[in-house]
């Protein structure tokens, strides 16, 4: 029991949900590896003096909260990436994978890191269930938040990029900003937001992500 | 302990394993009988006889009459038929409907459908902090135009027992005094049937739902008690089966399997409780004592003997569920991540808890085959997994929710 923290949690080989090994697990083997043996996470307390950029995204109210600590060298390469997360299996795995992607081969430049898309992380994880996709969206946002923090600390305010709008429903052309506006306008549930924006009306697969956003903005503005 | 071959199934509130005697009786029926219970020939009659026998037994189990029992395809269908069927047929008398904040989605979403799409007014009565509804608050919600009132007998997530009999008794008194004339009381008794004595007269209900998958019976079969004189509008049309209220060829094999399962429940319900209660207490004590920052959700005493529901602060339930799964422990969580809607448990929220406490809720529901060794194994395996997830979590839940 004494040093269990250092020990990876072992899953059964191949299949966790069935003992006969005949059926598949909920996630790909890559997700499973990063979930049971997450890389680069910070155990317990963080010594923030060791890092020069900090990013945060999400809140426990919406089920995922992610914090990242980066060390950026003088050539603007990310040489260290540590994280903590409160989240489900795919949130843990996608953050772990992102930390590997950002720091491998000498580390990404800030421009490279800023252009990471959720799809890139998902591709490396060999896929995530559709309804889990929003979890890895968080991670790229946290990286961009940390990079802005670095520019703030190094007084390069002109290089900061305010988070662009994110297209939530390409069919109805609704962005996260539209949903934020709808919530601020008093639409506090899916029905009300749909009345204002038509989000997901012809595209129901995105509804879980929309509900997540509604909850996030509701929590943010109305507590 | 060896973890490789462990199989500790603690999700009996989701589904119970089908009893071997039930499997046998169903297999025998499927081999021996080929008729449609509605056919007018000997083969049909034989199936019909089996159906009648099963109906008589289910009626006896509930303290009802055989003509008060309808068979359905699931517990969800029973709940839907009771609520939609009664609300719609009674709409000429009033369009006010009442339920509680901790009902199963089969009740809650049927109620919300009536509210959103059919012009009904819905009152959702909140529960107390212990997960039990105050009978008086339900009664106070009843108006002259109230029709269906639905209060579950045992909650599926936290196992708390609700005062249905008290509410039913009071409604009968209101009716004698010329009030609440069009009210019908429905109870979802799915999670109660394996553990509590169910008598529709003592509960004073008009409608009661049970199903096979929670009583060691087959999945995909349910029953609805409909008190004589309680009218329902059908949800489906096209046949005379089940008095035309639930038309469709009867799944006689599942129905007799269901009746057999209830027969076994009746014989061993008391013994099961004696077996389960100390195990439940051991698991509750074990978790609360060995893991700091945990809370038991739902009343400690007024709960069925197989339910343990705890919130483990600062972590997210799906991640813990998967770590437990890897150790051969199968449980359930109120975390949003495992629900199709990505909403966290409405039941834990209804207890006055914030989202993060609902996300960290874990349900362990014990069953007939659960052993003390299984419980010891869970208590041994759980703390290091919790500690690992907590260590990588940036969240620290406000102590007021667990102290």
pLDDT tens for each residue of A141-160: 899 999 999 999 999 988 88
Average pLDDT, chain B: 94
Measured over the CA atoms of residue B241, residue B247, residue B253 and residue B257, the dihedral's sign is negative
Of B79, B137, B56, B93, the residue nearest B350 (C-alpha): B137
CA distance B220 to chain A (A): 22
B326 contact residues in A (CB cutoff 8 A) = 9-12, 16, 36
> Where do the domains of chain B lie?
8-17+268-396, 20-264
Question: How confident is the model at residue B76, as a pLDDT?
Answer: 97
Instruction: Name the percent of chain B lying above pLDDT 90.
Output: 86
Question: How confident is the model at residue B355, as a pLDDT?
Answer: 86
Chain segment A68-96, per-residue pLDDT in tens? 999 999 999 999 999 999 988 888 999 99
Confidence at A54, pLDDT banded by 50, 70, 90: very high
Burial B72-82 (b: 16+ CB within 10 A, else e): bbbbbbbbbbb
**Chain-centre distance of CA B171, in angstroms?**
23
pLDDT for B88 beyond 90: yes
Confidence at B110, pLDDT banded by 50, 70, 90: very high
CA distance A71 to chain B (A): 19
Average pLDDT over residues B347-362: 92
Query: Is B147 a known active-site residue?
Result: no
**CB of A10 within 8 Å of any CB in chain B?**
yes
Of B106, B90, B363, B367, the residue nearest B214 (C-alpha): B367
Question: How confident is the model at residue A180, as a pLDDT?
Answer: 86
Q: What is the DSSP letter of A48?
A: G
**CB of B324 within 8 Å of any CB in chain A?**
no
Burial B129-148 (b: 16+ CB within 10 A, else e): ebbbbbbeebbebbeeebbb
Q: Which residue has the tokens 């009583």?
A: B215
φ and ψ of B4, to 5 deg: -60, -40
Question: How confident is the model at residue B195, as a pLDDT?
Answer: 97
Determine the angle formed by the axes of helices A133-153 and A89-103, rounding to 10 degrees: 40
**CB of B315 within 8 Å of any CB in chain A?**
yes
CB B113 within 8 Å of CB B257: no
Residue among B7, B325, B394 whose CB faces A85 most closely: B394
Q: Which CATH number fits domain B20-264: 3.40.50.1220, 3.40.640.10, 1.10.10.60, 3.50.50.60?
A: 3.40.640.10
**CB of B335 within 8 Å of any CB in chain A?**
yes
Residue among B56, B91, B196, B337 flagged as catalytic: B337
Question: How confident is the model at residue A130, as a pLDDT?
Answer: 66
Region B8-17+268-396: CATH code: 3.90.1150.10
CA distance B378 to chain A (A): 15
Question: How confident is the model at residue A46, as a pLDDT?
Answer: 84
Chain segment A161-220, per-residue pLDDT in tens? 876 677 788 777 788 888 888 888 888 889 888 888 888 877 778 888 888 888 888 887
A63/B336 CB distance under 8 A? yes
Residue among B323, B336, B391 whose CB faces A5 most closely: B391
Question: How confident is the model at residue B33, as a pLDDT?
Answer: 75
Q: Which residue has the tokens 């109305």?
A: A222
B392/A91 CB distance under 8 A? no
Q: Give the CB-side neighbour count of residue B223, counting CA atoms within 13 A.
A: 34
Residue among A19, A62, A85 whose CB faces B392 most closely: A85
Of B150, B153, B152, B191, the residue nearest B171 (C-alpha): B150
- Rounded Cα distance between B377 and B384, Å, is 12
Chain segment B60-79, per-residue pLDDT in tens? 999 999 999 999 999 999 99
Question: How confident is the model at residue A136, as a pLDDT?
Answer: 57
Chain segment B147-200, per-residue pLDDT in tens? 999 999 999 999 999 999 999 999 999 999 999 999 999 999 999 999 999 999
B337/A132 CB distance under 8 A? yes
Average pLDDT over residues B114-126: 97
* H or E element at residue B18: none
Question: How confident is the model at residue A15, as a pLDDT?
Answer: 31
Residue among A31, A53, A57, A62 flagged as catalytic: A62
Determine the angle formed by the axes of helices A176-184 and A207-222, rounding to 10 degrees: 50
Chain segment B371-394, per-residue pLDDT in tens? 999 999 999 999 999 999 999 999
Q: Name all domains of chain A by residue range, CATH numbers in brackets.
A: 25-159 (3.90.1010.10), 167-222 (1.10.10.1100)
| Residue of B311, B329, B349, B392 to mutate for A, most A C-beta atoms under 10 A | B392
Question: How confident is the model at residue B122, as a pLDDT?
Answer: 98
Helix (H, G, I), strand (E, B) or coil at A185: coil
- Rounded Cα distance between A35 and B204, Å, is 51
**CB of A1 within 8 Å of any CB in chain B?**
yes
- Rounded Cα distance between A65 and A61, Å, is 9
**Chain-centre distance of CA A198, in angstroms?**
26
CB B224 within 8 Å of CB B258: no
CA distance B78 to chain A (A): 27
φ and ψ of A156, to 5 deg: -115, 55
Chain segment A198-209, per-residue pLDDT in tens? 888 777 788 888
pLDDT for B370 beyond 90: yes
Question: How confident is the model at residue A137, as a pLDDT?
Answer: 64
């Amino acid at each position: 029991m004494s040093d269990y923290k250092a020990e990876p949690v072992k899953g059964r080989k191949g299949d966790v949900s069935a003992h006969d090994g005949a059926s598949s697990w909920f996630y790909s083997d890559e997700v499973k590896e990063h979930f049971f043996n997450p890389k680069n996470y910070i155990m317990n307390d963080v010594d923030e003096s060791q890092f020069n950029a900090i990013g945060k995204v999400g809140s426990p109210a919406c089920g995922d909260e992610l914090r990242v600590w980066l060390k950026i060298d003088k050539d603007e390469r990310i040489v260290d990436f540590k994280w903590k997360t409160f989240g489900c299996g795919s949130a843990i795995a996608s953050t772990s994978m992102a930390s590997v992607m950002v720091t491998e081969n000498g580390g990404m430049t800030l421009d490279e890191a800023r252009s990471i898309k959720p799809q890139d992380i998902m591709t490396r994880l060999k896929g995530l269930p559709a309804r889990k996709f929003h979890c890895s969206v968080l991670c790229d946002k946290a990286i961009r938040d940390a990079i802005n923090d670095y520019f703030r600390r190094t007084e390069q305010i002109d290089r900061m990029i305010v988070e662009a709008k994110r297209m939530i429903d390409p069919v109805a052309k609704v962005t996260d900003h539209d949903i934020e506006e709808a919530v601020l306008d008093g639409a506090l549930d899916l029905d009300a937001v749909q009345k204002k924006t038509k989000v997901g009306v012809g595209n129901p697969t995105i509804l879980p992500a929309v509900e997540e956003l509604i909850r996030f903005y509701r929590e943010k503005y109305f507590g | 302990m060896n973890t490789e071959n462990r199989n500790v199934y603690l999700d009996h509130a989701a589904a119970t394993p089908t009893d071997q005697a039930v499997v046998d009786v169903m297999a025998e029926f499927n081999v021996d009988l080929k008729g449609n219970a509605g056919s007018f020939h000997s083969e049909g009659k034989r199936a019909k006889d089996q159906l009648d026998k099963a109906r008589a037994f289910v009626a006896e189990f509930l303290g009802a009459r055989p003509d008060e029992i309808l068979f359905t395809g699931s517990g969800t269908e029973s709940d839907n038929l009771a609520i939609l069927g009664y609300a719609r047929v009674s709409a000429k008398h009033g369009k006010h409907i009442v339920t509680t904040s901790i009902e199963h989605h089969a009740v809650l979403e049927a109620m919300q459908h009536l509210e959103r799409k059919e012009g009904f007014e819905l009152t959702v009565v909140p529960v107390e902090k212990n997960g039990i509804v105050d009978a008086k608050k339900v009664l106070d919600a009843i108006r002259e135009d109230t029709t269906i009132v639905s209060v579950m007998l045992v909650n599926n997530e936290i196992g708390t027992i609700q005062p249905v009999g008290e509410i039913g008794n009071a409604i009968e008194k209101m009716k004698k005094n010329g009030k609440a004339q069009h009210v019908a009381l429905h109870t979802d008794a799915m999670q109660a049937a394996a553990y509590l004595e169910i008598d529709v007269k003592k509960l004073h209900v008009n409608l009661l739902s049970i199903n096979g998958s929670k009583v060691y019976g087959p999945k995909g079969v349910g029953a609805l008690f409909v008190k004589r004189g309680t009218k329902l509008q059908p949800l489906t049309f096209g046949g005379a089966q089940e008095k035309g209220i639930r038309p469709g060829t009867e799944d006689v094999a599942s129905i007799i399997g269901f009746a057999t399962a209830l027969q076994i429940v009746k014989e061993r319900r008391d013994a099961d409780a004696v077996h389960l209660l100390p195990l439940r207490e051991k698991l509750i004590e074990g978790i609360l004592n060995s893991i700091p920052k945990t809370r038991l959700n739902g009343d400690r005493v007024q709960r069925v003997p197989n339910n343990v529901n705890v919130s483990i602060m600062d972590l997210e339930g799906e991640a813990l569920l998967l770590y437990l799964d890897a150790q051969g422990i199968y449980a359930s969580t109120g975390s949003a991540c495992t629900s199709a809607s990505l909403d966290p448990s409405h039941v834990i929220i209804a207890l006055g808890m914030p989202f993060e406490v609902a996300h960290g809720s874990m349900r362990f529901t014990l069953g007939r085959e659960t052993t003390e060794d299984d419980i010891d194994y869970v208590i041994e395996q759980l703390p290091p997994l919790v500690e690992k997830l907590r260590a990588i979590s940036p969240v620290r839940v406000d102590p007021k929710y667990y102290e």
